[in-house]
Amino acid sequence: MLTRRTLGRTGLEVSSLGLGCMGMSHAYGEPDDAESIATIHRAIELGCTFFDTAEVYGPFTNEELLGRALKDRREGVQIATKFGFVIGQGSFAGADSRPEHIREVVEASLRRLQTDRIDLLYQHRVDPKVPIEDVAGTVRDLIAEGKVLHFGLSEAGVDTIGRAHAVQPVAALQSEYSIWERNLDDRILPLLDELGIGLVPFSPLGRGFLTGTAKRAEDYPEGDFRAKGDPRLQGANFDANMRIADLVRAIAAPHGATPGQVALAWLLQKRADIVPIPGTKRRTYLEENLAADDITLSVEEVARLDGALSTFAVSGERYGEKALSMVDR
């Protein structure tokens, strides 16, 4: 069974590893609802209680899937979902964190999730048109009403985090963070320490790259995010970045572990208030990921992984230009 961790100072206790549910409905190939629901149920059996979704995944269908899967298993699990996009005609087009829109999204998410409360509500991306104080104030009111229990931010920068936290304490920041994506090290992590905010890394396996099983962008089918959305997997970038995957594989071998398990173990040993959310829609990969909680890396192994980026610089941005423009830095 997984160990437990607390995110932030607002009392949100979750399993040490969560399950990112996005790929069950969005961005990573054809859905398989039956296997996805079986994966969610298996996660609960193994002590994983923290499930991550968003209205934009699908859109809407991922929340509906999670609602069906957890309908009779709601007690003892924690659901995180997100607001903050304009959604129309099956896609999202820009940010929208107006207070009235936040309330509309929460009511709709509660219906799709078949629940009376959202354990952790994130602003999915910072909306430059709406003061973050108004956003945090709206979530504060929803917490007072019992519809939301904790407040989170996703891909937010230092100024935004500080201003939001002053209005409503932030339990967690969700951002991309892994052995090969270290954009939080210099400014964000010290601020999280100062304010007592937990970290929920998405793509902790580098969109599959750190597992050693990733393919070149051009080898993914049309409709898979990795085919066009991650420059690190494209062309010469892919070849250059394989050096990092090779290092992780070398450290995994003496442990009898997979590279993905080592990538997750590294995160778990970085901070006591970090909860990675590797995504999968298959029970086999779920069980492999959750077993990372049992792996202990040596001080020397952690240091080698810490230094991976100074030894082998990552080649390519983590998003295309349009998506990167929505990241608040």
In sequence order, the 6+-apart residues with CB closer than 8 A to the CB of 273 are 5, 6, 7, 8, 192, 198, 199
Instruction: Determine the Cα–Cα distance for residues 132 and 324; give it in Å rounded to an integer.
Output: 20
Q: Which of 57, 177, 220, 285 is catalytic?
A: 57
Residue 57 annotated in active site: yes
> Which of 149, 100, 160 has its CA nearest to residue 124?
160
From residue 259, give the alpha-carbon distance in Å to each of 3, 232, 295.
21, 18, 12
* Contact in structure between 159 and 292 (CB atoms under 8 Å): no
Q: Is the preceding omega at residue 59 within 30 degrees of 0, hence cis?
A: yes
153: left (phi over 0), alpha (psi -120 to 50) or beta: beta
Q: What whole-number distance in Å separates Cα of residue 209 and Cα of residue 235?
A: 14
* CA pair distance 144, 151, nearest whole angstrom: 12
CA–CA separation, 59 and 25 (whole Å): 8
Which residues belong to the active site? 57
